[in-house]
Structure 1
Amino acid sequence: MSNPIIEVEGLTFQYTQADDRLAINNLSTTIYEGEWLAIIGHNGSGKSTFSKLLVGLLEAKAGTIKVDGQVLSLETLWDIRSKVGLVFQNPDNQFVGATVEDDVAFALENQGMAYEEMHARVETALKRVKMWEFRDMEPASLSGGQKQRVAIAGVIALEPKIMILDESTSMLDPEGREDLMEVVRDIKQDRNLTVISITHDLNEAAEADRMLVFKEGTILKEGTPAEIFTYGNKLTEIGLDVPFAEQLKTALAKRGVAVPSEYVDEEGLGEWLWKSSLKM
Protein backbone atom coordinates (compact mmCIF):
# COMPACT_ATOMS: atom_id res chain seq x y z
CA MET A 1 0.00 0.00 0.00
CA SER A 2 1.16 3.56 -0.75
CA ASN A 3 2.14 6.13 1.86
CA PRO A 4 -0.48 7.76 4.13
CA ILE A 5 -1.40 11.27 2.99
CA ILE A 6 -4.13 11.98 5.57
CA GLU A 7 -4.06 10.54 9.09
CA VAL A 8 -6.97 11.20 11.43
CA GLU A 9 -6.85 10.19 15.10
CA GLY A 10 -9.65 10.51 17.67
CA LEU A 11 -11.43 13.28 15.74
CA THR A 12 -14.44 14.71 17.56
CA PHE A 13 -16.68 17.66 16.61
CA GLN A 14 -19.84 19.17 18.04
CA TYR A 15 -21.72 22.03 16.38
CA THR A 16 -23.09 23.55 19.61
CA GLN A 17 -22.76 22.80 23.30
CA ALA A 18 -26.56 22.79 23.51
CA ASP A 19 -26.65 19.86 21.09
CA ASP A 20 -25.73 16.67 22.92
CA ARG A 21 -25.10 14.84 19.65
CA LEU A 22 -21.55 14.67 18.32
CA ALA A 23 -21.38 15.32 14.57
CA ILE A 24 -18.03 13.46 14.50
CA ASN A 25 -17.44 10.99 17.31
CA ASN A 26 -13.87 9.83 18.09
CA LEU A 27 -13.19 9.02 14.44
CA SER A 28 -9.85 7.60 13.28
CA THR A 29 -8.84 6.65 9.75
CA THR A 30 -5.98 6.79 7.25
CA ILE A 31 -6.21 7.86 3.60
CA TYR A 32 -3.43 6.83 1.25
CA GLU A 33 -1.58 8.72 -1.46
CA GLY A 34 -3.07 8.20 -4.92
CA GLU A 35 -6.17 6.28 -3.78
CA TRP A 36 -9.79 7.05 -4.60
CA LEU A 37 -11.77 6.92 -1.37
CA ALA A 38 -15.57 7.12 -1.39
CA ILE A 39 -17.42 8.17 1.76
CA ILE A 40 -21.10 7.27 1.91
CA GLY A 41 -23.81 7.61 4.53
CA HIS A 42 -27.27 9.05 5.09
CA ASN A 43 -27.89 12.78 5.58
CA GLY A 44 -26.51 13.89 8.93
CA SER A 45 -24.03 11.03 9.22
CA GLY A 46 -21.07 13.44 9.36
CA LYS A 47 -19.68 13.11 5.82
CA SER A 48 -19.61 16.82 4.90
CA THR A 49 -18.58 17.82 8.42
CA PHE A 50 -15.58 15.51 8.06
CA SER A 51 -14.56 17.13 4.75
CA LYS A 52 -14.73 20.62 6.27
CA LEU A 53 -12.63 19.52 9.24
CA LEU A 54 -9.94 18.18 6.89
CA VAL A 55 -9.36 21.66 5.43
CA GLY A 56 -9.84 23.63 8.62
CA LEU A 57 -13.21 25.18 7.76
CA LEU A 58 -14.36 23.76 11.09
CA GLU A 59 -12.26 23.35 14.23
CA ALA A 60 -12.29 19.96 15.94
CA LYS A 61 -13.27 19.63 19.58
CA ALA A 62 -10.64 16.91 20.02
CA GLY A 63 -8.28 14.75 17.98
CA THR A 64 -5.63 15.39 15.34
CA ILE A 65 -5.53 15.66 11.56
CA LYS A 66 -2.26 15.18 9.73
CA VAL A 67 -2.10 16.08 6.02
CA ASP A 68 0.99 15.20 3.99
CA GLY A 69 3.05 14.94 7.17
CA GLN A 70 1.82 18.19 8.76
CA VAL A 71 -0.48 18.38 11.76
CA LEU A 72 -3.38 20.75 11.03
CA SER A 73 -3.13 23.86 13.21
CA LEU A 74 -3.44 27.63 12.91
CA GLU A 75 0.23 27.74 11.91
CA THR A 76 -0.08 25.11 9.14
CA LEU A 77 -3.63 25.89 7.98
CA TRP A 78 -2.80 27.78 4.78
CA ASP A 79 -0.01 25.44 3.80
CA ILE A 80 -2.36 22.47 4.13
CA ARG A 81 -5.13 24.22 2.21
CA SER A 82 -2.72 24.67 -0.69
CA LYS A 83 -2.49 20.86 -0.86
CA VAL A 84 -6.23 20.13 -0.66
CA GLY A 85 -8.86 21.23 -3.17
CA LEU A 86 -12.50 21.10 -2.02
CA VAL A 87 -15.38 21.14 -4.52
CA PHE A 88 -18.78 21.76 -2.90
CA GLN A 89 -22.22 20.44 -3.85
CA ASN A 90 -23.36 23.88 -4.97
CA PRO A 91 -20.61 25.59 -7.01
CA ASP A 92 -22.35 28.97 -6.66
CA ASN A 93 -21.03 29.00 -3.08
CA GLN A 94 -17.45 29.01 -4.43
CA PHE A 95 -17.65 31.64 -7.18
CA VAL A 96 -16.07 35.03 -6.46
CA GLY A 97 -14.89 36.24 -9.88
CA ALA A 98 -16.81 38.35 -12.39
CA THR A 99 -15.86 35.95 -15.20
CA VAL A 100 -14.99 32.27 -15.43
CA GLU A 101 -11.32 33.12 -16.03
CA ASP A 102 -11.22 35.54 -13.08
CA ASP A 103 -12.77 32.97 -10.79
CA VAL A 104 -10.26 30.24 -11.61
CA ALA A 105 -7.42 32.75 -11.17
CA PHE A 106 -8.67 34.07 -7.82
CA ALA A 107 -6.87 31.63 -5.50
CA LEU A 108 -3.67 31.87 -7.55
CA GLU A 109 -3.72 35.67 -7.25
CA ASN A 110 -4.09 35.32 -3.48
CA GLN A 111 -0.90 33.25 -3.50
CA GLY A 112 0.91 36.10 -5.24
CA MET A 113 1.68 33.98 -8.30
CA ALA A 114 3.37 35.69 -11.27
CA TYR A 115 0.93 36.64 -14.03
CA GLU A 116 2.53 34.46 -16.72
CA GLU A 117 2.38 31.30 -14.64
CA MET A 118 -1.10 32.12 -13.37
CA HIS A 119 -2.46 32.66 -16.88
CA ALA A 120 -0.88 29.43 -18.10
CA ARG A 121 -2.37 27.44 -15.23
CA VAL A 122 -5.83 28.95 -15.73
CA GLU A 123 -5.77 28.23 -19.46
CA THR A 124 -4.58 24.65 -18.91
CA ALA A 125 -7.20 24.01 -16.22
CA LEU A 126 -10.11 25.42 -18.23
CA LYS A 127 -9.08 23.52 -21.35
CA ARG A 128 -8.82 20.35 -19.26
CA VAL A 129 -12.48 20.64 -18.27
CA LYS A 130 -13.52 21.90 -21.74
CA MET A 131 -14.51 25.37 -20.50
CA TRP A 132 -11.84 27.59 -22.08
CA GLU A 133 -14.28 28.98 -24.66
CA PHE A 134 -16.50 30.17 -21.79
CA ARG A 135 -13.68 32.07 -20.03
CA ASP A 136 -15.25 35.54 -20.52
CA MET A 137 -18.73 34.53 -19.33
CA GLU A 138 -20.22 35.21 -15.91
CA PRO A 139 -20.28 32.00 -13.81
CA ALA A 140 -23.93 32.64 -12.89
CA SER A 141 -24.96 32.30 -16.55
CA LEU A 142 -23.62 28.73 -16.87
CA SER A 143 -25.53 25.47 -16.55
CA GLY A 144 -25.14 23.30 -13.46
CA GLY A 145 -22.69 20.96 -15.17
CA GLN A 146 -20.64 23.85 -16.55
CA LYS A 147 -20.47 25.46 -13.10
CA GLN A 148 -19.11 22.25 -11.60
CA ARG A 149 -16.50 22.04 -14.34
CA VAL A 150 -15.37 25.59 -13.53
CA ALA A 151 -15.24 24.75 -9.80
CA ILE A 152 -13.04 21.75 -10.60
CA ALA A 153 -10.87 23.90 -12.89
CA GLY A 154 -10.25 26.20 -9.91
CA VAL A 155 -8.96 23.20 -7.98
CA ILE A 156 -6.91 21.87 -10.90
CA ALA A 157 -5.18 25.25 -11.29
CA LEU A 158 -3.97 25.03 -7.69
CA GLU A 159 -2.34 21.65 -8.47
CA PRO A 160 -3.23 20.12 -5.07
CA LYS A 161 -2.23 16.65 -3.93
CA ILE A 162 -5.77 15.91 -2.70
CA MET A 163 -9.19 16.65 -4.23
CA ILE A 164 -12.33 16.40 -2.11
CA LEU A 165 -15.64 16.16 -3.98
CA ASP A 166 -18.40 16.94 -1.46
CA GLU A 167 -21.61 15.75 -3.18
CA SER A 168 -20.25 17.54 -6.26
CA THR A 169 -22.32 15.52 -8.77
CA SER A 170 -25.64 15.45 -6.91
CA MET A 171 -27.14 18.32 -8.93
CA LEU A 172 -26.19 16.83 -12.31
CA ASP A 173 -28.04 14.49 -14.65
CA PRO A 174 -26.49 11.04 -15.29
CA GLU A 175 -24.68 12.19 -18.44
CA GLY A 176 -23.27 15.29 -16.74
CA ARG A 177 -22.24 13.20 -13.74
CA GLU A 178 -20.34 10.73 -15.91
CA ASP A 179 -18.64 13.54 -17.88
CA LEU A 180 -17.45 15.12 -14.65
CA MET A 181 -16.20 11.82 -13.24
CA GLU A 182 -14.25 11.19 -16.45
CA VAL A 183 -12.44 14.52 -15.98
CA VAL A 184 -11.57 13.60 -12.38
CA ARG A 185 -10.38 10.12 -13.38
CA ASP A 186 -8.07 11.57 -16.02
CA ILE A 187 -6.55 14.10 -13.61
CA LYS A 188 -6.12 11.44 -10.93
CA GLN A 189 -4.24 9.18 -13.32
CA ASP A 190 -2.02 11.95 -14.67
CA ARG A 191 -1.01 13.38 -11.29
CA ASN A 192 -1.42 10.45 -8.88
CA LEU A 193 -4.06 12.63 -7.24
CA THR A 194 -5.74 11.45 -4.05
CA VAL A 195 -9.52 11.72 -4.49
CA ILE A 196 -12.03 11.74 -1.65
CA SER A 197 -15.56 11.46 -3.01
CA ILE A 198 -18.44 12.16 -0.62
CA THR A 199 -21.54 10.92 -2.37
CA HIS A 200 -25.03 9.42 -2.21
CA ASP A 201 -24.53 7.87 -5.64
CA LEU A 202 -23.38 4.29 -5.05
CA ASN A 203 -22.66 3.81 -8.75
CA GLU A 204 -20.14 6.63 -8.44
CA ALA A 205 -18.81 5.18 -5.20
CA ALA A 206 -18.37 1.80 -6.91
CA GLU A 207 -15.46 3.26 -8.90
CA ALA A 208 -13.47 3.95 -5.73
CA ASP A 209 -10.57 1.86 -4.48
CA ARG A 210 -12.03 1.87 -0.97
CA MET A 211 -15.21 2.97 0.77
CA LEU A 212 -16.08 4.24 4.24
CA VAL A 213 -19.67 4.03 5.47
CA PHE A 214 -20.47 6.79 7.95
CA LYS A 215 -23.20 6.58 10.60
CA GLU A 216 -23.72 9.07 13.43
CA GLY A 217 -20.25 10.54 13.05
CA THR A 218 -18.39 7.23 13.11
CA ILE A 219 -17.19 4.73 10.52
CA LEU A 220 -19.70 1.87 10.43
CA LYS A 221 -18.05 -0.17 7.67
CA GLU A 222 -14.82 0.00 5.67
CA GLY A 223 -13.73 -1.99 2.62
CA THR A 224 -13.65 -2.25 -1.14
CA PRO A 225 -16.90 -1.52 -3.02
CA ALA A 226 -17.37 -5.28 -3.54
CA GLU A 227 -17.05 -5.88 0.20
CA ILE A 228 -19.38 -3.03 1.16
CA PHE A 229 -22.12 -3.92 -1.33
CA THR A 230 -22.36 -7.46 0.02
CA TYR A 231 -24.04 -5.95 3.08
CA GLY A 232 -27.10 -5.34 0.88
CA ASN A 233 -30.09 -4.91 3.18
CA LYS A 234 -27.91 -3.52 5.98
CA LEU A 235 -27.10 -0.54 3.74
CA THR A 236 -30.80 -0.03 3.09
CA GLU A 237 -31.44 -0.02 6.85
CA ILE A 238 -29.21 3.06 7.27
CA GLY A 239 -30.88 4.93 4.41
CA LEU A 240 -28.65 3.96 1.49
CA ASP A 241 -29.63 2.41 -1.80
CA VAL A 242 -27.94 -0.70 -3.16
CA PRO A 243 -26.74 -0.51 -6.80
CA PHE A 244 -29.23 -2.02 -9.25
CA ALA A 245 -26.76 -4.72 -10.32
CA GLU A 246 -26.50 -5.94 -6.71
CA GLN A 247 -30.28 -5.88 -6.30
CA LEU A 248 -30.64 -7.99 -9.45
CA LYS A 249 -27.98 -10.44 -8.26
CA THR A 250 -29.88 -10.88 -4.99
CA ALA A 251 -33.15 -11.50 -6.85
CA LEU A 252 -31.47 -14.03 -9.16
CA ALA A 253 -29.85 -15.83 -6.22
CA LYS A 254 -33.27 -16.23 -4.58
CA ARG A 255 -34.38 -18.02 -7.77
CA GLY A 256 -31.49 -20.41 -7.52
CA VAL A 257 -29.25 -18.76 -10.11
CA ALA A 258 -25.52 -18.95 -9.30
CA VAL A 259 -24.40 -15.34 -9.68
CA PRO A 260 -20.86 -13.85 -9.52
CA SER A 261 -19.68 -13.33 -5.93
CA GLU A 262 -17.58 -10.28 -6.84
CA TYR A 263 -19.06 -6.85 -7.53
CA VAL A 264 -20.02 -6.16 -11.14
CA ASP A 265 -21.71 -3.05 -12.53
CA GLU A 266 -24.82 -3.09 -14.72
CA GLU A 267 -22.79 -3.43 -17.91
CA GLY A 268 -20.72 -6.27 -16.49
CA LEU A 269 -23.78 -8.09 -15.14
CA GLY A 270 -25.53 -7.71 -18.48
CA GLU A 271 -22.55 -9.26 -20.25
CA TRP A 272 -22.47 -12.11 -17.71
CA LEU A 273 -26.20 -12.78 -18.20
CA TRP A 274 -25.78 -12.76 -21.98
CA LYS A 275 -22.90 -15.23 -21.86
CA SER A 276 -24.79 -17.43 -19.40
CA SER A 277 -27.81 -17.54 -21.69
CA LEU A 278 -25.65 -18.78 -24.56
CA LYS A 279 -24.62 -21.79 -22.44
CA MET A 280 -28.21 -22.77 -21.70
Structure 2
Amino acid sequence: MNRLSERDAAFLAEMGIGPLWKLRAVADAATQADIPEAAAPETPAAAPQPLAPPPMPRQVAERVVKPAWTPPVNDNSAWGAEPAPEQVDVSTLDWAGLRLAIATCKHCSACSEGRKPVLGAGARQARWLVAAGTASAADEKAGQPMTGEPGKLLDNMLAAVGMSRETDVYVTSLVKCRPVNAKGGDRAPTAEEAAACRPFLERERALTGAGVVLTMGQVAANGLLGQPLAEPLAGSRGAVHRLGDVPMVATLHPAELLQRGHDKALAWADLCRARALDGHAG
Protein backbone atom coordinates (compact mmCIF):
# COMPACT_ATOMS: atom_id res chain seq x y z
CA MET A 1 0.00 0.00 0.00
CA ASN A 2 1.33 3.49 -0.84
CA ARG A 3 2.14 5.71 2.06
CA LEU A 4 1.04 9.34 2.27
CA SER A 5 4.07 11.50 1.41
CA GLU A 6 4.97 14.50 3.48
CA ARG A 7 4.28 16.77 0.52
CA ASP A 8 0.78 15.31 -0.01
CA ALA A 9 0.02 15.75 3.67
CA ALA A 10 1.08 19.42 3.48
CA PHE A 11 -1.21 20.06 0.48
CA LEU A 12 -4.14 18.45 2.23
CA ALA A 13 -3.51 20.53 5.34
CA GLU A 14 -3.44 23.76 3.30
CA MET A 15 -6.82 22.84 1.79
CA GLY A 16 -8.25 22.17 5.24
CA ILE A 17 -8.70 18.49 4.53
CA GLY A 18 -7.05 16.30 7.08
CA PRO A 19 -6.60 12.61 6.41
CA LEU A 20 -9.06 10.31 8.07
CA TRP A 21 -6.07 8.18 9.07
CA LYS A 22 -2.29 7.94 8.45
CA LEU A 23 0.41 5.39 9.11
CA ARG A 24 2.25 5.59 12.45
CA ALA A 25 5.61 5.49 10.66
CA VAL A 26 4.83 8.65 8.69
CA ALA A 27 3.59 10.45 11.83
CA ASP A 28 6.83 9.52 13.70
CA ALA A 29 9.07 10.67 10.84
CA ALA A 30 7.36 14.05 10.41
CA THR A 31 8.61 17.09 12.29
CA GLN A 32 6.77 20.22 13.36
CA ALA A 33 8.92 22.26 10.93
CA ASP A 34 7.92 20.18 7.90
CA ILE A 35 4.12 19.96 8.64
CA PRO A 36 2.09 23.09 9.52
CA GLU A 37 0.74 23.13 13.05
CA ALA A 38 -2.89 23.26 11.93
CA ALA A 39 -2.43 20.21 9.72
CA ALA A 40 -0.94 17.98 12.42
CA PRO A 41 -3.09 18.26 15.54
CA GLU A 42 -1.99 16.36 18.59
CA THR A 43 -5.40 14.74 18.91
CA PRO A 44 -6.94 12.55 16.18
CA ALA A 45 -9.13 14.38 13.68
CA ALA A 46 -12.85 14.12 14.44
CA ALA A 47 -14.95 12.03 12.11
CA PRO A 48 -16.81 14.18 9.55
CA GLN A 49 -20.44 14.94 10.44
CA PRO A 50 -23.06 13.47 8.08
CA LEU A 51 -24.48 15.97 5.63
CA ALA A 52 -28.00 17.31 6.43
CA PRO A 53 -30.64 16.25 3.87
CA PRO A 54 -31.50 18.95 1.33
CA PRO A 55 -34.60 21.02 2.16
CA MET A 56 -37.82 19.55 0.82
CA PRO A 57 -39.15 21.54 -2.13
CA ARG A 58 -42.17 23.72 -1.23
CA GLN A 59 -44.53 22.04 -3.62
CA VAL A 60 -43.71 18.61 -2.16
CA ALA A 61 -44.48 19.79 1.38
CA GLU A 62 -47.83 21.20 0.27
CA ARG A 63 -48.83 17.87 -1.20
CA VAL A 64 -48.29 16.27 2.17
CA VAL A 65 -50.60 18.58 4.16
CA LYS A 66 -53.18 19.53 1.55
CA PRO A 67 -56.09 17.10 0.92
CA ALA A 68 -56.21 15.67 -2.55
CA TRP A 69 -59.85 16.84 -3.04
CA THR A 70 -62.08 19.39 -1.36
CA PRO A 71 -65.84 18.91 -1.86
CA PRO A 72 -67.69 21.89 -3.39
CA VAL A 73 -69.73 23.93 -0.90
CA ASN A 74 -73.02 23.34 -2.73
CA ASP A 75 -72.41 19.70 -3.56
CA ASN A 76 -75.63 17.78 -2.96
CA SER A 77 -74.05 14.93 -1.04
CA ALA A 78 -72.94 13.93 2.42
CA TRP A 79 -69.89 16.17 1.98
CA GLY A 80 -71.73 19.40 1.25
CA ALA A 81 -74.76 21.40 2.31
CA GLU A 82 -78.16 20.76 0.79
CA PRO A 83 -78.89 23.27 -1.98
CA ALA A 84 -81.53 25.84 -1.17
CA PRO A 85 -84.86 25.32 -2.95
CA GLU A 86 -85.11 27.35 -6.12
CA GLN A 87 -87.04 30.57 -5.60
CA VAL A 88 -89.84 31.24 -8.09
CA ASP A 89 -91.05 34.73 -8.93
CA VAL A 90 -94.69 34.03 -8.10
CA SER A 91 -95.79 37.53 -9.10
CA THR A 92 -95.34 36.72 -12.81
CA LEU A 93 -97.21 33.38 -12.92
CA ASP A 94 -100.48 32.67 -14.66
CA TRP A 95 -103.04 30.25 -13.21
CA ALA A 96 -101.33 27.15 -14.58
CA GLY A 97 -97.90 28.27 -13.41
CA LEU A 98 -99.23 29.23 -9.99
CA ARG A 99 -100.91 25.89 -9.41
CA LEU A 100 -97.74 24.09 -10.48
CA ALA A 101 -95.64 26.22 -8.14
CA ILE A 102 -97.94 25.42 -5.22
CA ALA A 103 -97.98 21.70 -6.05
CA THR A 104 -94.17 21.48 -6.17
CA CYS A 105 -93.33 23.90 -3.34
CA LYS A 106 -90.80 22.68 -0.74
CA HIS A 107 -90.20 25.94 1.16
CA CYS A 108 -91.62 25.06 4.57
CA SER A 109 -91.99 22.14 6.95
CA ALA A 110 -95.65 21.49 6.06
CA CYS A 111 -95.05 20.77 2.38
CA SER A 112 -91.73 19.02 3.04
CA GLU A 113 -93.65 16.43 5.10
CA GLY A 114 -95.21 15.21 1.88
CA ARG A 115 -98.66 16.71 2.39
CA LYS A 116 -100.79 17.28 -0.69
CA PRO A 117 -101.54 21.00 -1.04
CA VAL A 118 -105.13 22.19 -1.11
CA LEU A 119 -105.59 24.59 -4.00
CA GLY A 120 -108.07 27.44 -4.07
CA ALA A 121 -111.41 27.11 -5.85
CA GLY A 122 -114.26 29.32 -6.99
CA ALA A 123 -114.69 32.12 -9.47
CA ARG A 124 -111.48 32.89 -11.40
CA GLN A 125 -112.75 36.45 -11.87
CA ALA A 126 -114.03 37.34 -8.43
CA ARG A 127 -115.40 40.22 -6.40
CA TRP A 128 -114.15 38.77 -3.11
CA LEU A 129 -111.26 36.57 -2.11
CA VAL A 130 -112.16 34.59 1.02
CA ALA A 131 -109.15 33.19 2.89
CA ALA A 132 -109.09 30.69 5.73
CA GLY A 133 -105.93 30.02 7.74
CA THR A 134 -105.32 26.36 6.90
CA ALA A 135 -107.08 23.46 5.27
CA SER A 136 -108.87 20.87 7.42
CA ALA A 137 -108.58 17.10 7.12
CA ALA A 138 -111.86 17.10 5.19
CA ASP A 139 -110.52 19.79 2.85
CA GLU A 140 -107.34 17.79 2.25
CA LYS A 141 -109.38 14.70 1.42
CA ALA A 142 -111.71 16.62 -0.91
CA GLY A 143 -108.88 18.57 -2.53
CA GLN A 144 -110.55 21.97 -2.07
CA PRO A 145 -110.92 24.51 0.75
CA MET A 146 -113.85 25.06 3.09
CA THR A 147 -115.77 21.79 2.76
CA GLY A 148 -118.08 19.91 5.09
CA GLU A 149 -120.33 21.73 7.55
CA PRO A 150 -118.10 24.85 7.73
CA GLY A 151 -118.28 25.04 3.93
CA LYS A 152 -122.07 24.85 3.95
CA LEU A 153 -122.26 27.65 6.49
CA LEU A 154 -119.89 29.77 4.37
CA ASP A 155 -122.12 29.26 1.33
CA ASN A 156 -125.15 30.40 3.38
CA MET A 157 -123.26 33.48 4.62
CA LEU A 158 -122.29 34.43 1.06
CA ALA A 159 -125.84 33.90 -0.19
CA ALA A 160 -127.07 36.27 2.53
CA VAL A 161 -125.11 39.09 0.87
CA GLY A 162 -126.04 38.07 -2.66
CA MET A 163 -122.90 36.16 -3.69
CA SER A 164 -121.71 32.61 -4.38
CA ARG A 165 -118.49 30.72 -4.99
CA GLU A 166 -119.50 29.90 -8.53
CA THR A 167 -119.89 33.48 -9.75
CA ASP A 168 -118.43 35.99 -7.28
CA VAL A 169 -116.03 34.54 -4.71
CA TYR A 170 -112.70 32.73 -4.84
CA VAL A 171 -112.02 30.67 -1.69
CA THR A 172 -108.54 29.64 -0.61
CA SER A 173 -106.34 29.18 2.46
CA LEU A 174 -103.22 31.01 3.58
CA VAL A 175 -101.20 27.84 4.35
CA LYS A 176 -101.71 25.53 1.40
CA CYS A 177 -100.58 22.25 3.00
CA ARG A 178 -102.43 21.03 6.08
CA PRO A 179 -100.08 21.21 9.11
CA VAL A 180 -100.08 17.98 11.10
CA ASN A 181 -98.43 16.75 14.28
CA ALA A 182 -96.41 13.57 14.79
CA LYS A 183 -99.62 11.52 15.15
CA GLY A 184 -101.20 12.95 11.99
CA GLY A 185 -103.61 15.27 13.77
CA ASP A 186 -104.10 18.96 13.06
CA ARG A 187 -101.67 21.47 14.55
CA ALA A 188 -101.32 25.23 14.40
CA PRO A 189 -99.18 26.48 11.51
CA THR A 190 -95.88 28.19 12.17
CA ALA A 191 -94.93 31.72 11.16
CA GLU A 192 -92.46 30.20 8.68
CA GLU A 193 -95.22 28.24 6.96
CA ALA A 194 -97.51 31.26 6.76
CA ALA A 195 -94.73 33.45 5.34
CA ALA A 196 -93.77 30.80 2.75
CA CYS A 197 -97.34 30.56 1.43
CA ARG A 198 -98.32 34.22 1.55
CA PRO A 199 -96.98 35.05 -1.96
CA PHE A 200 -99.28 32.37 -3.38
CA LEU A 201 -102.35 33.97 -1.83
CA GLU A 202 -101.31 37.42 -2.99
CA ARG A 203 -100.93 36.10 -6.55
CA GLU A 204 -104.35 34.45 -6.33
CA ARG A 205 -105.80 37.81 -5.34
CA ALA A 206 -104.10 39.52 -8.28
CA LEU A 207 -105.23 36.91 -10.80
CA THR A 208 -108.85 36.97 -9.62
CA GLY A 209 -108.94 40.78 -9.57
CA ALA A 210 -110.88 40.60 -6.27
CA GLY A 211 -111.58 44.04 -4.84
CA VAL A 212 -112.10 42.82 -1.24
CA VAL A 213 -110.28 40.24 0.91
CA LEU A 214 -112.30 38.56 3.67
CA THR A 215 -110.23 36.51 6.15
CA MET A 216 -111.79 33.81 8.31
CA GLY A 217 -110.18 33.05 11.65
CA GLN A 218 -107.16 34.47 13.45
CA VAL A 219 -104.47 32.62 11.47
CA ALA A 220 -105.46 34.12 8.13
CA ALA A 221 -105.96 37.61 9.55
CA ASN A 222 -102.72 37.68 11.55
CA GLY A 223 -100.70 36.04 8.78
CA LEU A 224 -101.73 38.69 6.24
CA LEU A 225 -101.34 41.55 8.71
CA GLY A 226 -97.85 40.41 9.75
CA GLN A 227 -98.85 39.78 13.36
CA PRO A 228 -98.12 36.77 15.61
CA LEU A 229 -100.42 33.97 14.49
CA ALA A 230 -101.70 33.38 18.02
CA GLU A 231 -102.86 37.00 18.41
CA PRO A 232 -106.60 37.03 19.35
CA LEU A 233 -108.89 37.83 16.45
CA ALA A 234 -110.70 40.45 18.52
CA GLY A 235 -107.84 42.86 17.90
CA SER A 236 -108.27 42.64 14.12
CA ARG A 237 -111.99 42.33 13.43
CA GLY A 238 -114.34 45.30 13.47
CA ALA A 239 -112.06 47.44 11.25
CA VAL A 240 -110.98 47.75 7.64
CA HIS A 241 -107.33 46.83 6.93
CA ARG A 242 -105.28 47.02 3.74
CA LEU A 243 -103.59 44.20 1.84
CA GLY A 244 -101.53 46.33 -0.51
CA ASP A 245 -104.09 48.56 -2.20
CA VAL A 246 -107.00 46.17 -1.49
CA PRO A 247 -109.26 46.51 1.58
CA MET A 248 -109.31 43.55 3.97
CA VAL A 249 -111.95 42.62 6.55
CA ALA A 250 -111.37 39.98 9.26
CA THR A 251 -114.15 37.76 10.59
CA LEU A 252 -114.59 34.47 12.44
CA HIS A 253 -114.11 31.08 10.83
CA PRO A 254 -117.35 29.19 10.08
CA ALA A 255 -116.08 26.27 12.19
CA GLU A 256 -115.99 28.64 15.19
CA LEU A 257 -119.49 29.90 14.44
CA LEU A 258 -120.79 26.33 14.46
CA GLN A 259 -119.48 25.98 18.03
CA ARG A 260 -120.50 29.47 19.18
CA GLY A 261 -123.78 30.35 17.52
CA HIS A 262 -124.10 33.61 19.46
CA ASP A 263 -121.09 34.99 17.52
CA LYS A 264 -122.99 34.85 14.23
CA ALA A 265 -124.13 38.43 14.79
CA LEU A 266 -120.48 39.53 14.80
CA ALA A 267 -119.85 37.67 11.56
CA TRP A 268 -122.92 39.28 9.98
CA ALA A 269 -121.59 42.74 10.87
CA ASP A 270 -118.26 41.83 9.24
CA LEU A 271 -120.00 40.65 6.08
CA CYS A 272 -121.93 43.91 5.86
CA ARG A 273 -118.69 45.86 6.32
CA ALA A 274 -117.05 43.95 3.47
CA ARG A 275 -120.10 44.38 1.23
CA ALA A 276 -120.02 48.13 1.80
CA LEU A 277 -116.47 48.16 0.39
CA ASP A 278 -117.52 46.25 -2.72
CA GLY A 279 -118.06 48.48 -5.72
CA HIS A 280 -120.89 46.21 -6.88
CA ALA A 281 -122.89 46.65 -3.65
CA GLY A 282 -126.39 47.91 -4.22
TM-score (norm 2): 0.29
Is the radius of gyration larger for structure 1 or structure 2?
2
Structure with more strand by fraction: 1
If asked which structure has higher relative contact order (CA below 8 Å, sep 6+), I would say 1
TM-score (norm 1): 0.29
